[in-house]
Amino acid sequence: MKTLATVLFFVVAGHSVLAQNIYGSLTYGAMGYQCDYTDLQTSYSSYLESMEPVLANNNLYFTDVDDNFSNLGLTGALTFQVGMGQNGYSLVFTAMSTKTAQTRDVRWSNGFGRSFVWKETRRETLFDFGFYGTKRFDFYGTFGVNWNWTRMVSYYIYPDESRTLTHEFANNGVYKHYTVGLSFGAGVRYRFKNFVALEARYLFSKIGFGIINKEEDFGLSDAAIVKHPDYTYFPQDYTEPISVTSGNELVPYFNRQSVTLSAIFYINRDRISKKRDK
Amino acid sequence: MKRLFVLPFLALVLSGCFKEFNGINDENELFAKLSRGNGTWEVTKVEKWNALDADPVITTTTPDSSFFYFYLRSKIVFGSVIDLKYGEYYDNNNLIEEATVSAQKERIVFEGNTVGSGTVYTVEKNGLTSLIWLHMESDQATRYYLEKCNCEIPSNPSNETGG
């Protein structure tokens, strides 16, 4: 609601002060990112390590193991922007949403296995403060808040390829956690033709700030009644004791750097009025 | 005058943009969808097989009158009214299962009365008006194909005698 009010304020303000440029767009851009998934990768490796003796005791072995989770990726970015420019300066509110998912499967020789599906929905609400560098370029610095919904879905795989979350297997579950943090970066807009500009934005999204930090926060958890309480949290290290009080839980504070390319629409009121005058 | 049209339009666009802010990590994010309309989902097909077989023989049946029903049930707890999310499963108009539910995009749980108990359905397909759920009991797999319906919920026999 606050966001809506802020955006509407900018629209009304933009109209009322007759800003030179009014920006506004709802576009789908492309984002390349690098995310620090070290803890997630450690968890996956520890699962493999913990399973080796278990399989060996049952005369089983790994037949297929996916590579670890990747730090790099490409995804789409839904971006909404609204703002204004006046006297060489611009102020734009930006809301950006991205969704990513990675799946890693492990299979062993009797046909069974486990599948880890990592999902993220990240939202950024940003303020871009900029100036018109040249006739065609806007430069800006950006800062704001990131809101992240993360979840790990851990399935058991049967020989017939069924993936199930049945509670018969303690490691099955839908583990979730919500994090917030601060984001900052910079960008450039290239106003290559009237009404349309291309935008490139670099953003560093740091999870946590102040008292909200990894050491104090809880980890990914699944509070379903069907789960044994000791398996409420998704383990950071499968080779270490797992219990609700052990502190052995994956806390998804995964900082991300990203570059987003998108289009933005704007209205140059000066140019329009000049055309009218002609 | 133009602004009067622009502002509501933007409000609509924005409310769509941020709709998902609500309840993404809710324990019951799927319940609103399940309980939409009169909250009933018809079981159009049931498949059963042994999941230990890499190439299993699948038995398919088409139930006559089988559906799931999701709704909010109000209860008074310590003097306060609370709404519980309920799910029921009817087969041939007979109530087979009834419990509070936890409905997520990947998993539907009909909760048991004790920790560690309940029935788990793994969501294989989460369409707008169709769902596919997988239930595993030991090694026996049952797949339910569900379609949004307006099924008639069997009424409870009345205790009133009229006398």
Per-residue pLDDT tens digits for A112-141? 999 999 999 999 999 999 887 667 888 999
Domains annotated for chain B, with CATH where assigned, are: 19-149 (2.40.128)
Can you give the CATH number for the domain in which A30 is found? 2.40.160.20
Cα separation, A167 vs A178, whole angstroms: 24
Would you state the pLDDT for residue B10? Answer: 54
Nearest residue on chain B to A161, alpha-carbon basis: B54
Q: What is the pLDDT of residues A153-207, one digit of tens each?
A: 999 999 999 999 999 899 999 999 999 999 999 999 898 777 888 999 999 999 9
Residue A225 has pLDDT above 60, yes or no: yes
Mean pLDDT score of chain A, rounded to an integer?
A: 89
**Inter-chain residue contact B141 with A160, CB threshold 8 Å:** yes
Query: How many Cβ pairs closer than 8 A exist between chain A and B?
Result: 116
In terms of CA atoms, which chain A residue is nearest residue B15? A4
Number of domains chain A contains: 1
Which chain B residue is nearest to residue A166, measuring alpha carbons?
B120
- Min Cα distance B91 → chain A (Å) is 22
Say what the pLDDT of residue B22 is.
46
Residue B51 has its nearest CB partner, among A123, A160, A174, at A160
Q: Which structural domain range is residue A115 located in?
A: 2-277
Residue A27 pLDDT exceeds 80: yes
- Nearest-CA residue of chain A relative to B57? A160
CB contact under 8 A, B3 and A15: yes
Q: Do the Cβ atoms of B106 and A158 come within 8 Å?
A: no
Query: Considering CB atoms only, which of A15, A111, A168 is closest to B54?
Result: A111
Question: Which of A80, A159, A228 lies closest to B116 in CB terms?
Answer: A228
Chain B residues within 8 A of A160 when measuring between CB atoms: 49-56, 141
Q: Are A146 and A207 in contact (CB under 8 A)?
A: yes
Query: Across the interface, do A160 and B104 touch by the CB < 8 Å criterion?
Result: no
Answer yes or no: are the C-beta atoms of A231 and A249 closer than 8 Å: no
pLDDT digits 0-9 by tens, A202-222: 999 999 988 888 988 999 999
Residue segments in chain B with a per-residue pLDDT below the cut of 50: 1, 4, 8, 12-13, 15-17, 19-25
Nearest-Cα distance to chain A for B55, in Å, is: 6
- The per-residue pLDDT for B25 is 47
Chain A hits for B6, CB-CB cut-off 8 Å, are 11
pLDDT score for B155 = 75
The answer to whether B109 contacts chain A (CB < 8 Å) is: yes
The pLDDT of residue A235 is: 96
pLDDT one-digit tens code per residue, A63-112: 999 999 999 999 999 999 898 888 888 888 999 999 999 999 999 999 99
CB contact under 8 A, B112 and A163: no
Interface test with B, best of A153, A164, A230 (most B CBs within 10 A): A164
Q: Sign of the CA dihedral B73, B78, B81, B82? A: negative
Rounded to two decimals, the ipTM of the complex is 0.85
C-alpha span between A74 and A43 (Å, rounded) = 23
Q: Which pLDDT score, from 0 to 100, does residue B26 have? A: 64
For residues A235-254, average pLDDT: 92
Is A112 in CB contact (< 8 Å) with chain B?
no
The three state secondary structure string of chain A is CHHHHHHHHHHHHHHHCCCCEEEEEEEEEEEEEEECCHHHHHHHHHHHHHHHHHHHHCCCCEEEECCCCCCEEEEEEEEEEEEEEECCEEEEEEEEEEEEEEEEEEEECCCCEEEEEEEEEEEEEEEEEEEECCCCEEEEEEEEEEEEEEEEEEEEECCCCCEECCCCCCCCEEEEEEEEEEEEEEEEEEEEECCEEEEEEEEEEEEEECCECCCCCCCCECCCCCCCHHHCECCCCCCCCCCCCCCCCCCCCCCEEEEEEEEEEEEEHHHHHHHHHC
pLDDT (0 to 100) of residue B12: 47
Choosing among A226, A230, A232, which should be mutated to test the B contact, i.e. which has the most B CBs within 10 A?
A226
- Residue A5 touches chain B, beta carbons under 8 Å: no
pLDDT at A270: 66
Pairwise CB contact (< 8 Å): A167 & B116: yes
> Could you give the angle at the alpha carbon of A222 between the alpha carbons of A177 and B125, nearest 5°?
90
Q: Residue A162 and residue B116: Cβ atoms within 8 Å?
A: no
The pLDDT of residue A34: 97
Q: Is B6 on the interface with A (CB under 8 A)?
A: yes
Contacts of A155 in chain B (CB under 8 A): 122
Confidence (pLDDT) at A26: 86
Cβ–Cβ gap A166/B56 under 8 Å: no
State the pLDDT at residue B3: 53
Burial bucket for residue A113 (CB in 10 Å: 0-12, 13-18, 19+): buried
Mean pLDDT of A58-62: 96
